[in-house]
Amino acid sequence: MRLNLKTTLTAGLTALLFAGTAHAQTAGATAPACGGDLNAFLQGVKAEAQTLGVSAEVADRALAGAAIDQKVLSRDRAQGVFRQTFLEFSKRTVSQARLDIGRKKLKDLSDVFDRAEQEFGVPGPVIAAFWAMETDFGAVQGDFITRNALVTLAHDCRRPEIFRPQLLAAIEMVGHGDLDPNGTTGAWAGEIGQVQMLPRDIIAYGVDGDGDGHVNVKQSSPDAILTAAKFIQSLGFTKGQPWIQEISIPDNLPFEKTGLQPGMKAADWFALGVKPRDGDTSFGNLEASVVLPQGRKGPAFMTYPNFNIYLEWNQSFIYTTSAAYFATRLAGAPPYERGNPEEGLSEEAMKQLQTKLNALGHDVGKIDGILGSGTRTAIQKEQQKLGLPADGWATQALLSAL
């Protein structure tokens, strides 16, 4: 399961979702768009589904027995924040066992992965890494009734603009024979299948990979693989280009230029002494960033435009970097050099740092003890002022200096 509901809501898809919500408010004018009596809410959903071309029989079948799942609401209210470091998270997720299984899957399903790359331009290792990280290659897909999860989140008034369109898409999937309203299970937030996709994305990008006339992303690995490939392509993946590359960096690198910020090409970094570990400098004309998940003394990577698809998939920097690294391992890269990063801050110390940064005029977002993008950017600016290497890594020395 993805670490947050990010997730598939790219700018274009978000526009579609909000368009669907606006339609809901007109089509279901006699019933609440969210909240209130559940039966009245479901009647409004049924009415809207019919305006979208779903028959009354399909809508009734899809919604019969629908119920609020309190466990879904509990999960939604208590979403955990991501506190592991890159070294911790990548060690756990990019395990030898997963690498072995992934390589076997790439071999056993080579014809499917070849088709994915030929038709959608997405290499097998990229898909397989997501497959592993989302569900352990389909082994852990979630046990929430998808229909009830989406009814719960669409009825709840916290984010109905996201979940009502997904519920309508799930009803459409029932009509296609691709979702059993009482039997299909998935993640608490409505994601379904071996690569955890939301119903609207399954409809938009679903591929019948095994030729049975259905898109079954739960049981059919070919369907899941090809659907994921088409979705990844839609996020902007460019065939034949790298996504991430391990590098070594010089001590005098202008660290204030590091991080996920535009303006540099790979060739610019090479001229500054950055060296790809695999020796491949053939993509020097591409936009590139140098990312240091645990500062200048830890692992170092260069990211390319294709890395953006990872950020579209999940907004957690640690997750995306780990997933991208995982794909390089499946493609043949060696383990990264761990380095010897400086010790980071505890949750409480990180909150203290964020509070200080806010007081200095930076916007780090929520004081949550997480080293997110806003906090990293603020750290870099303060490191520059203090004459420290501006690598964006939070240390006790920095906290003490502020």
- pLDDT of the residue at 28: 38
At residue 56, what is the residue type? A
Give one word for 253, left, alpha or beta, with left for phi > 0 and alpha for psi -120 to 50. Answer: beta
Beta carbons of 194 and 37 less than 8 angstroms apart: no
Give one word for 77, left, alpha or beta, with left for phi > 0 and alpha for psi -120 to 50. Answer: alpha
- pLDDT of the residue at 328: 98
For Cα atoms 202, 154, 57, give the angle at the middle one, nearest 5 degrees.
70
Q: In whole angstroms, give the CA distance from residue 169 to residue 149.
A: 13
- pLDDT of the residue at 2: 45
Q: Which two tokens stand for residue 256?
A: 């204030």
Beta carbons of 76 and 158 less than 8 angstroms apart: yes
- pLDDT of the residue at 19: 35
Residue segments in the chain with a per-residue pLDDT below the cut of 50:
1-30
Taking alpha carbons only, the member of 16, 8, 15 closest to residue 230 is: 8
Residue whose pair of structure tokens reads 């309203």 in the numeric block: 181
Q: In whole angstroms, give the CA distance from residue 372 to residue 154.
A: 29
- pLDDT of the residue at 123: 98
Q: What is the pTM of this model?
A: 0.90
What is the dihedral sign for C-alpha 311, 315, 318, 320?
A: negative
